[in-house]
Chain A
């Protein structure tokens, strides 16, 4: 807006333009209304409704649902179970994505090919990946055959219907997601900054440590947050590839069962709220850690 005011006199707004602009201003803002209504009616309202409903249990006092959740081991332990799956998966995904995306930061044919290939598992989604992994990782699958033929295992390794199946499915869909996200942040950093550092004698490691890493910190924090939140809300692969009755009974399974098997929507809402709260706590922790490691302008390198 300010740029319009500071334009040279020859390009300044005519009176007709400014009149037209004021006349259209109110109607232009009206264009926001339908889109905003969708989010308010279908996202904000259900969330508030769910929050209120969680305090209106089928039986007992206002906090009965939350008390039940935190005193029933079968419900309470889902938080630890889910964290035990989601945290390692997130660390592996972002930990692998950072060096590989950094190596691929120059716009090359390889970068384009790799991004196009990695978009496939994201697009296919967790259900299809789970079905594929059931065959691929199964005792007769290609993965185990390869391990045995290479002499890395003497008998098939059990990788489905347990903890490992779920973690591996989260890596298959989560790594490409983290990679594309980190890559988009890295390519947003002006390579001239690293070139300047190189002219001043900085080696590759120093350039990464002192130029890229500080500029990437905000983007990495967001990549960690989004990857974690996605992993924490794992549902189809925990049911299909895991052991949903025991070791991979994640929190979303508990919420789903409360809603669609017990028809206790108040309890289901309470579990959904706990799920949201845990995600919020971890996201806040990641953002706070970023503040400890990195203080400086949050803007990227360009401009």
Chain B
């Protein structure tokens, strides 16, 4: 009886491992297919291309104005990270430190943009931005990307702020520091690891944010991921290898920042948007 149970357990374990490895193998296949194709001279009906070349990168650089796209992407992303941190950290501080009537409603207000998918609220948001003549501009793209990122910074920051002893701020206040100075000289240095983590998470998420940027961007305010969508959409206009060279550029841009981010944050933080309510002491 015990032996049967042990064999069953081993089979179950083996099955789970096999499924996991199969999944990882398929992901590797998807990524390698893009990478190999971007260096291929001709690839048809064989396991590997007939030969390898780097010329598609030069072609893609000219055809898609990759340099310009990377610049726009970085401008949008850094503006979003900066503004989201500037607005989100103080709000996270107020939520972590103060109890006030209507606090649950404010928490819900900040949770909603993370729970509703971007394409659902992106269409009315794009409508409003186009009426304000901000649609199709870089300002519009940055504004739209603030909607999920400011609440995200608040959620990531709250536990960091709760760890800081409120007596440190009280001491500074007793010594005559105002809110601004308490922030600058006490909280910012102590919160640096949290701010770094939140900033990197927002950065990675914003580079990959397709829906909101797609709905609000014009021809000069496209980010890499939106330009990639358009070039895959218009498949056949350009060589597939050239599109994949652009995809690799996007992939490298994203993964470099992901690797930097993973040095400072836990991978689960990228998806765990719903934090448990901080328990009231």
Contacts and interface: CB of A to CB of B under 8 A. Distances in A.
A2 interface: yes
B27 A120 contact: yes
Interface in A129-163: 129-136, 140-143, 145
A254 to B, nearest CB: 11
A100 B109 contact: no
A127 B93 contact: no
Contacts of B233: 239-240
A181 B267 CA distance: 10
Interface stretch (A44-52, A55-63, A69-77, A284-292): A44-52
B81 to A, nearest CB: 14
A49 B124 contact: yes
Contact of B232 (A3, A100, A127): A127
B229 A172 contact: no
Contacts of B127: 46, 49-50, 53, 259, 265, 268-269
Contacts of B121: 43, 46-47, 272
Given A38-B87, A142-B33, A180-B272, A131 B243 contact: yes
Interface stretch (A111-119, A194-202, A209-217): A111-119
Nearest to A138: B33
A35 B228 contact: no
B19 interface: yes
Interface stretch (B57-65, B67-75, B98-106, B189-197): B98-106
B156 interface: no
B120 A128 contact: no
B280 interface: yes
Interface in B210-228: 210-211, 214-215, 225, 228
A223 to B, nearest CB: 9
B37 A127 contact: no
Given A236-B229, A269-B124, A132 B211 contact: no
Contacts of B211: 233, 235-236
A99 interface: yes
A125 B34 contact: no
Interface extent on A, as a size class? 35 or more
Given A29-B98, A172-B30, A145 B47 contact: yes
A204 B12 CA distance: 12
B170 A32 contact: no
A25 B225 contact: no
A255 interface: yes
Contacts of B120: 233, 272, 275-276, 279
B232 A130 contact: yes
Given A35-B154, A127-B228, A181 B272 contact: yes
Nearest to A222: B274
A299 to B, nearest CB: 8
B124 A127 contact: no
B128 A36 contact: no
Interface string B139-176: 00001101100110010000000000001001001100
A229 B117 contact: yes
Nearest to A48: B124
A180 B209 CA distance: 19
Interface of A: 1-4, 16-17, 20-21, 23-25, 27-32, 34-36, 38-40, 42-47, 49-50, 53, 96, 99-100, 103, 114-136, 140-143, 145, 172, 175-177, 180-181, 183-184, 188, 203-204, 222, 226, 229-230, 232-233, 235-236, 239-240, 252, 255-256, 259, 265, 268-269, 271-272, 275-276, 279, 300, 303
22 contacts: A1-B99, A35-B151, A38-B87, A39-B150, A44-B109, A46-B121, A53-B127, A100-B16, A118-B267, A120-B27, A123-B270, A127-B225, A136-B30, A145-B47, A172-B26, A172-B27, A180-B267, A184-B272, A255-B119, A259-B126, A269-B127, A272-B124
Given A44-B109, A100-B20, A130-B232, 18 more contacts: A20-B170, A25-B98, A29-B98, A31-B94, A35-B110, A39-B110, A47-B124, A103-B16, A120-B258, A123-B254, A125-B210, A134-B232, A135-B244, A233-B211, A235-B119, A236-B210, A240-B229, A269-B124
List the 10 closest pairs (A to B, CB-CB), nearest first. Answer: A50-B124, A35-B91, A132-B30, A233-B117, A31-B90, A3-B281, A20-B173, A125-B208, A135-B33, A115-B267
